[in-house]
Amino acid sequence: MKLSCTRPILLALAFTSGSASAVTVITDDFDTGVVSSSWDTTAGTSVVSGGAQGSTQAVTLAATTGNLGETFGAVSPGGAEDFVIDYYFRVQAVAAPATTRQFNLQVSTTWVTPNTSAATINLRYQNGGWALFNTAWVPVAGLPAVADGTWYHMQLEGVDWGTAGASYTLRLSDAAGSAFTSTATGLNIVQNGNIIGTKAQSFNFNTAFGANPGFSVDQVTVTAADVVPEPGAVSLGGLVLLGLLRRRR
């Protein structure tokens, strides 16, 4: 089944489930040798040999120009209340770690372009430590340093965005591992926007700041869910799904 057919059916299922059901925003292991055309932004990216956990290939973001990003709008038009960004990453060695950013992930309540006015979550790895920006860089307690040239599994999970209980969690594996062994939970540090009043609209991996020399990511899987619609929308969703299923028969 093509993605263009899958997304409407998944949305109908979400509307008839009686709860917010997560659907896939994007998944890409880059083993086809190209970056999937489903990404909204692929500037400064290239596929390289040797991925994480047995994957044959990965994507590398070029120094200072890399931007691999996607919006949640196709599966969650109102923005994502709950979402998970799951991926493997590998950083390069740098000559000046104190001033050189080795990894950057942004989540935004607007669009995917990396810039200081759009980032709501601004997560970086620099000088042997993880930090989030909120008027200044705030160290992330609980996440250890990573080794250069080694794959790690990481996950960012947002929960209840747009509500008074909005927060997010970061999880990290050991070197070359897949199981999460370190966690920072209950985070609400934001650079711009307000996760209590707005939902997540997009995310991007980028190398735009801090003289970033580039880094690699692999096996990216992102899911998102919006709030449950009004009862009338639930009924409509059920009718849409039924019609689609009948048509396919």
Q: Are residues 123 and 213 in the same domain?
A: yes
pLDDT surpassing 70 at residue 242: no
* pLDDT at res. 116: 82
pLDDT tier at 67, thresholds 50, 70, 90: very high
Q: Are residues 190 and 204 in the same domain?
A: yes
pLDDT in tens, 85-100: 999 999 999 999 999 9
Report the residue count for the chain: 249
CATH number at residue 137: 2.60.120.560
Q: Are residues 8 and 47 in the same domain?
A: no
Residue 55's region, left for phi above 0, alpha for psi from -120 to 50, else beta, is beta
Q: Are residues 113 and 219 in the same domain?
A: yes
pLDDT in tens, 203-226: 999 999 999 999 999 999 999 997
Average pLDDT in the 51-65 region? 97
* pLDDT at res. 117: 86
Q: Are residues 45 and 122 in the same domain?
A: yes
Q: Are residues 56 and 131 in the same domain?
A: yes
How does the average pLDDT of the chain come out, rounded? 86
Q: Are residues 108 and 121 in the same domain?
A: yes
pLDDT tier at 72, thresholds 50, 70, 90: very high
User: What percent of the chain shows pLDDT beyond 90?
Assistant: 75
Separation of CA 199 from chain center: 14
* pLDDT at res. 76: 82
Residue 212: name the closest of 127, 105, 90, 103 by CA: 103
* pLDDT at res. 20: 59
User: Which domain range does residue 70 map to?
Assistant: 22-227
Q: Are residues 35 and 67 in the same domain?
A: yes
Of the listed ranges 6-15, 104-113, 120-129, 136-145, the one predicted with least confidence: 6-15
Q: Are residues 164 and 152 in the same domain?
A: yes
pLDDT tier at 73, thresholds 50, 70, 90: confident
Q: What is the pTM of this model?
A: 0.84
Q: Are residues 73 and 95 in the same domain?
A: yes
Q: Are residues 201 and 221 in the same domain?
A: yes
Q: Are residues 141 and 249 in the same domain?
A: no
How many structural domains are present in the chain? 2
pLDDT surpassing 80 at residue 238: no
**Rounded to 10 degrees, what is the CA torsion of 235, 239, 242, 244?**
-130
Do residues 229 and 62 lie in contact, with contact meaning Cβ atoms separated by under 8 Å? no
Residue 90: name the closest of 214, 227, 226 by CA: 214
